[in-house]
Amino acid sequence: MVEESNIFKGKLEDRPVVDARTFHSSDFLPGIISQRNIHRGLIIFRGLIADRPASGDTEIQVFFAEDESKMYIWNTANEAWESTTLS
Q: Is residue 80 part of a domain?
A: yes
Q: Quote the domain boundaries for residue 76.
A: 39-51+58-87
Q: Are 65 and 44 in contact (CB under 8 A)?
A: no
Is the full-model pTM beyond 0.75?
A: no
Q: Is residue 11 part of a domain?
A: no
| Res. 12: pLDDT tops 70 | no
Evaluate whether residue 74 is within a structural domain.
Answer: yes
Strand locations in the chain (E): 45-47, 62-65, 70-75, 80-85
Domain count across the chain: 1
pLDDT, tens digit, 9 for 90 and up, residues 49-87? 999 999 888 888 899 999 999 999 999 899 999 999 887
pLDDT of residue 33: 62
Asked if residues 43 and 62 have their Cβ atoms less than 8 Å apart, the reply is: yes
Within-domain flag for 29: no
Is residue 20 assigned to a domain?
no
Bridge-partner residues for 73, per DSSP?
62, 82
Q: Is the pLDDT of residue 40 over 80?
A: no
Does 13 have pLDDT greater than 60?
yes
Which DSSP state fits 33? S
Q: What's the pLDDT at 47? A: 92
- In-domain check, residue 4: no
The predicted pLDDT at position 81 comes to 94
7 found inside a domain: no
- For residue 82, what pLDDT is reported? 93
Residue 16 lies in a domain: no
